[in-house]
A and B are shown apart, each in its own frame.
Chain A
Amino acid sequence: MATETEHSPGEAVTARIERRWATLSIIIVGLLVGMAAYIGIHQATMPQGHVETADPKTLHLAGEFIESNLGSAVEADGSVTVRAIGQQYSFTPQCVVVPSETPVTFRATSADVVHGFLIEGTNINTMLVPGYVSALQVRFKAPGEHMMPCQEFCGIGHQGMWGKVKVVDKAAFLNMAAAKRRLTCVD
């Protein structure tokens, strides 16, 4: 029986087709892994590298999310770190001020429920999950104003939850930063 099937012309065709499909699948897998690697290295928005935790109930007592530490801070390497919290139903600071043409890191978390964190005109779009810190990097090209709505239903007052990001000229920002260590544009 074995010799019979070996001689059948149908088997040779099947084997050839199977080899081709296997080759094709391996190429597709290789391509997808390669794409993921390329995008991971070269695209602007990457998934967060670290999982960091913060207790939502005690954000206001100690740590980096206390009220007086929220806002934009100039780091030693010249980049800017913005710390913010989302809570029912506002962002604090309500108005974030950042410089143009500077690497900016947003670090934000939620004090109560899941909120959304989206900055219009940028690649920033993430969730603020109570218990975890969301950290994202962005570089604003030009001065201007961006809306920062909560885009994750967070309760009955959700539609009123907005913030604002004001991008100012780098020199103007550094002037402001010389006078104050945490900047906001809340009037």
Chain B
Amino acid sequence: MSDQPLVSLRNPWFVAGVGITVGIAAFSAVVGLIWLPLAQPDLKLSGIWDAICSAAGVPRATVQDASIKPEFRTSNVVMTSEMLTKPDQVSIGRGATLSQRCAICHGPQGVSDANSPNLAGQFAAVTYKELNDFKAGARVSVVMSPFAAAISDQDMKDVAAYYAYLPRVPSNNLNAGLPAPAIVVTGAPMRNIPPCGSCHGDIDNKAGSPWLGGQSAVYIKAQLQSLASGARRNDISQQMRNVARQMTPEEIDQAARYYAAQP
């Protein structure tokens, strides 16, 4: 027996062992790749080859059926967390010249008391996205929409880079001693409200969420109200409407007053 080679077709144990293993593998492949997929009518497979591909996990593009088109303009900006985070000096310089048009409302240094947003130190991606949305009509403002109508993509990037470059200036309402309200610190987890800072930069920044410190309380309140009512709809896939809708009027007041007093 010990003279017989182990790996040989003449060794019946070897033949049986390998045969059974191969048989099980083949049977399992037929069950897993063909029989089980075809047994699921919901998968709507077109044949054996389709069944094998789908069971093996070959990715395919989503079947496009007729989507319902929106009745209003939505934001068409593609946001990524790295966008506009590396501005060049030329862009900032061009932006400084272009921003003179903005100074009457937003202040020569990007800060004003006109209850319009203070842009000094704002994330470039935010300024860029809002300008885009004004231009596309996804966000509407009597004052801003005409200004944005004719501005080019490069000009928007330059203005955004310039304002991001300016240092944040403490507003006249600065009051660092003001205690933070619960809605800002913890949100309201049972109502789908995360802490404001989890997106707006105090803790973490989600691309497109503005820095809120030092903004006018009137402006913050107006925006939260119009997001809650659905009058403003340029937040991508309702990311801020979902939050604002759940906030009570008192919480909106508290958050607006708190952020107006922050640097």
- CB closest chain-A residue, reference B192: A162
Of A33, A60, A70, which is within 8 A of B27 by CB? A33
Mark B56-78 against chain A: 1 for CB-CB distance below 8 A, else 0.
01111111110111110011101
Q: A171 an interface residue at 8 Å Cβ cutoff?
A: no
- CB closest chain-B residue, reference A33: B28
**Chain A nearest CB, measured from B121 CB (Å):** 22
Q: B40 an interface residue at 8 Å Cβ cutoff?
A: yes
Please give the number of chain B residues whose Cβ is less than 8 angstroms from any Cβ of chain A in the complex: 60
From known contacts A6-B1, A60-B236, A61-B76, infer whether A49 and B40 are also in contact, taking CB-CB under 8 Å. Answer: yes
A contact set with B: CB distance below 8 Å: 1-2, 5-6, 26, 29, 33, 36-37, 40-41, 46, 49-54, 57-70, 85, 87-94, 105, 111-112, 132-133, 137, 155-163, 181-182, 186-187
From known contacts A64-B64, A159-B189, A160-B188, infer whether A50 and B70 are also in contact, taking CB-CB under 8 Å. Answer: no
Q: Which chain B residues lie closer than 8 Å to A1 at the CB level?
A: 2
Mark B173-208 against chain A: 1 for CB-CB distance below 8 A, else 0.
000000000000001111011110111000110100
**Chain B nearest CB, measured from A31 CB (Å):** 12
- Report whether A67 and B237 are in contact in the complex, using a CB–CB cutoff of 8 Å: yes
**Chain B nearest CB, measured from A157 CB (Å):** 3
Q: B243 an interface residue at 8 Å Cβ cutoff?
A: yes
- Report whether B62 and A58 are in contact in the complex, using a CB–CB cutoff of 8 Å: no
Interface 9-mer from B31-39, B95-103, B111-119, B163-171: B31-39
Q: Which chain B residues lie closer than 8 Å to A69 at the CB level?
A: 67-68
Q: Which chain A residues lie closer than 8 Å to B194 at the CB level?
A: 88-89, 156-161
- CB closest chain-A residue, reference B63: A52
**Distance, CA A92 to CA B192, complexed state (A):** 11
- Report whether B69 and A68 are in contact in the complex, using a CB–CB cutoff of 8 Å: yes
**Chain A nearest CB, measured from B118 CB (Å):** 25
- Report whether B237 and A59 are in contact in the complex, using a CB–CB cutoff of 8 Å: yes
**Chain B nearest CB, measured from A104 CB (Å):** 12
- Report whether B245 and A54 are in contact in the complex, using a CB–CB cutoff of 8 Å: no
Selected A-B contacts with CB under 8 Å, 27 pairs: A2-B2, A33-B28, A40-B39, A41-B39, A46-B40, A49-B45, A49-B54, A57-B78, A57-B79, A60-B74, A60-B75, A60-B237, A61-B76, A64-B65, A70-B237, A85-B237, A88-B206, A89-B198, A94-B245, A111-B237, A155-B198, A155-B204, A156-B204, A157-B195, A157-B199, A160-B192, A160-B193
**Chain A nearest CB, measured from B44 CB (Å):** 9
If A70-B237, A90-B242, A162-B192 are given as contacts, then 9 extra A-B residue pairs at C-beta distance below 8 Å, sorted by A number, are A1-B2, A33-B24, A53-B60, A59-B237, A60-B76, A89-B243, A105-B42, A111-B236, A133-B62
Among B69, B71, B242, the one with the most A-chain Cβ atoms within 10 Å of its Cβ is B242
**Distance, CA A161 to CA B183, complexed state (A):** 15
**Chain B nearest CB, measured from A58 CB (Å):** 6
**Chain B nearest CB, measured from A138 CB (Å):** 12
- CB closest chain-B residue, reference A59: B237
- CB closest chain-B residue, reference A73: B68
B235-251 with Cβ < 8 A to chain A: 236-239, 242-243, 245
**Distance, CA A51 to CA B24, complexed state (A):** 26
Q: Which chain A residues lie closer than 8 Å to B245 at the CB level?
A: 94, 186-187
**Chain B nearest CB, measured from A120 CB (Å):** 14
Q: B141 an interface residue at 8 Å Cβ cutoff?
A: no
